[in-house]
Amino acid sequence: MNDEIGKRLCKQVFSLWINPEIERRTKENRLPHGFKLLMAQIVMNVGQAPIVRLNDEIKATMVVRVTRNVTPDDNVYLSDFDAIEKISLTDSDPNAAHITMMLHKRRWVISFNFHYNSEKVKAHLEAAHEFLLVAHDCLLNKRFRSFYENLFSAVELTSKSWLLRMPLPTVLKSKNHKHIGNHINNHTRLGNVCENFSKLLNHLTDSRGTARYLDGEFRANEKTCEAMWKTAEQMHEFVRAPGIVNHVSHKGQKPNAGDLVPAQI
């Protein structure tokens, strides 16, 4: 972000969370004498009040640009890096969104990720992938009723994975098929989700009566089923892709000055 946007974001974070937390702790005599704010973190879980952490309470990993040669086991101190490229939550907060700020070289570095429920999203996508594989096997063997049922499970789980990234308490707890479908249709109307994805979920939802429960005559076209499976696969890849950038690792054995390396607070 540019400097102006960064200043506005910083001002809002201080106004909404950090200053009220410092004032509250000051009134309760919970801050050490001579307290100086160096780091702050707002951790947000769906359906819960935000948690505000100050200084050494912060839990985070960072990717920093080191100014000296280091080995994988070295401690990296503030004086050892000149830039912070990324700040992420640790495994202690697997399903939280966050805003993390750190005072470095007299400037506030701000990092944020408003994707919620990362661990839950991963679990749902893994389950969806299993159903996708079974659906493909059913397609190859022309077991079309089973294909429809397994593809429905895959697409609905993928749809829920997309919605779980947002602070939607009802989606987190809901097991209602219609509820998931309504949200995905709304996201399609907003342009957030490809229309083919919502059409596929709607079609599979409407077809379950005949395919799964034998409620009427069931008809399946092999070419149509192949196209449906490809759309479901594309949908799964689309929802999975944003999660890839959340994980940074360094594969080099001896990072040198100027290299990006992970560090943990």
Buried b or exposed e, range 114-150, using 16+ CB within 10 angstroms: ebbbbebbbebbebbbebbebbbebbeeebbebbbbb
- CA 31 to chain centroid, in Å, comes to 33
Q: What is the pLDDT of residues 54-89, one digit of tens each?
A: 999 999 998 888 888 888 778 877 778 888 888 999
Q: What's the pLDDT at 244?
A: 38
Residue 66 has what pLDDT?
86
Averaged pLDDT, 148-174: 94
Band (pLDDT 50/70/90 cuts) for residue 50 is: very high
Question: What is the pTM for the complete model shown?
Answer: 0.81
pLDDT at 26 over 50: yes
The separation between CA 118 and the C-alpha centre of its own chain, rounded to angstroms, equals 4
Q: Are 101 and 72 in contact (CB under 8 A)?
A: no
The string of DSSP codes covering 54-94 is EGGG---EEEEEESS---TT----GGGEEEEEEEE--TTST
- DSSP conformational letter for 246: G
From CA 241, how far away is CA 89, in angstroms rounded? 19
**Per residue in 90-114, pLDDT tens?**
999 999 999 999 998 888 889 999 9
Rounded to the nearest integer, the mean pLDDT of the chain is: 89
pLDDT of residue 258: 58
Question: CA 191 to CA 221: how far, in whole Å?
Answer: 30
